[in-house]
């Protein structure tokens, strides 16, 4: 759905390409015939170049029922999710959850993503 919207609005979705054409990193939004903006998300606020390639500011909203099995929620930017998986985040956060140290968990996530 997101890719279709971007293509319809004049953008394209592709990874960065290496010297020999190999795909590097996550897919990004580009203008159809230019190597910009290279945004690794399809929704953003205030990026006019990305908007011209089909990126929208409308949030994607999901609803989840939380239960006793859910111990923590991590809200992070693409600068984290680009480099770490949900599983990696869970492994990083868990020891800090056990110590009730959310600020330390956040710092560890940032350090791992960097």
- Ramachandran angles phi, psi of 35, nearest 5°: -90, 50
Mean pLDDT score of the chain: 92
Give the model's confidence band at 100: pLDDT under 50 very low, under 70 low, under 90 confident, else very high: very high
Closest-CA residue to 27 (of 36, 44, 40): 40
What are the residues facing 29 on neighbouring strands? 13, 39
Taking the whole predicted model, whether its pTM rises above 0.75 is answered as no
Give the model's confidence band at 90: pLDDT under 50 very low, under 70 low, under 90 confident, else very high: very high
Task: Please say whether the beta carbons of 57 and 43 come within 8 A.
Answer: yes
């Amino acid at each position: 759905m997101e890719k279709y919207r971007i293509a319809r609005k004049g953008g394209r979705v592709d990874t960065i390409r290496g010297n020999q054409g190999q795909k590097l990193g996550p897919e990004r939004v580009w203008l159809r015939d230019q190597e910009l903006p290279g945004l690794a998300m399809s929704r953003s606020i205030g990026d006019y170049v990305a908007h011209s390639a089909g990126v929208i500011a409308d949030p994607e909203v999901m609803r989840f029922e939380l239960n006793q099995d859910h111990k923590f929620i991590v809200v992070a930017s693409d600068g984290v999710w680009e480099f770490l998986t949900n599983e990696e985040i869970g492994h990083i956060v868990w020891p800090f959850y056990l110590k009730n140290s959310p600020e330390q968990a956040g710092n560890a996530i940032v350090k791992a993503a960097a």
